[in-house]
């Protein structure tokens, strides 16, 4: 599997990040390879997934509702970084080229992008990742 398309500016560490991978069952011969690329990126950066953090859905149309449920709201509203490895191709050859073929693995790239963005947001807004204290009611 080729994973040389993504090159972060610094080495990334996913240790301590809460991650999930959502993958479509439709066209499994392609999406299975994208899932493996994402899992490879997470493992290479020291990340771990809890049981149930790899979520399979029927197809591409189900991504928005699934991701919204994972993040409670869409990315911009929740501050939860998300990256999409959804392929928009015209041929099966184009899809397989992007799922571990001559154009790398877009599942790997998407996972690395999500990890990089989670670390970036943590660095620029560390207080956002800490639990908020509730004020006592008077």
Q: What is the pLDDT of residues 57-76, one digit of tens each?
A: 999 999 999 988 988 775 56
List domains and CATH numbers for the chain.
21-129 (3.40.50.960)
Could you give phi then psi for residue 22, rounded to 5 degrees?
Answer: -110, 125
Confidence of residue 32 (pLDDT cuts 50, 70, 90): very high
Report yes or no: 112 and 6 within 8 Å, Cβ to Cβ. Answer: yes
Q: What is the DSSP string of 24-41?
A: ESTTHHHHHHHHHHHHHH
Predicted confidence (pLDDT) at residue 86 exceeds the cutoff of 60 = yes
| Among the listed residues 78, 114, 79, 96, the one whose alpha carbon sits nearest the alpha carbon of residue 30 | 96
The rounded Cα 106 to chain-centroid distance in angstroms is 10
Find the helix or strand (DSSP H, E) in which 104 lies: strand 104-105
Least confident of 33-47, 64-78, 99-113: 64-78
Output the six-digit token pair for 107.
């599942």
């Amino acid at each position: 599997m080729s994973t040389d398309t993504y090159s972060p500016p610094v080495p990334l560490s996913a240790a301590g990040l809460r991650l999930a991978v959502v993958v479509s069952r439709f066209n499994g011969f392609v999406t299975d390879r994208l899932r493996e690329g994402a899992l490879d990126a997470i493992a290479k950066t020291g990340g771990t997934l809890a049981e149930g953090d790899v979520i399979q859905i029927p197809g591409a149309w189900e991504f928005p509702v699934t991701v919204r449920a994972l993040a409670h709201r869409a990315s911009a509203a929740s501050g939860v970084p998300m990256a999409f490895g959804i392929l928009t191709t015209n041929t099966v050859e184009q899809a397989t080229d992007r799922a571990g073929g001559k154009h790398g693995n877009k599942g790997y790239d998407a996972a690395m992008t999500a990890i990089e963005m989670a670390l970036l947001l943590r660095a620029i807004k560390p207080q956002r990742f800490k639990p908020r204290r509730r004020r006592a009611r008077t």
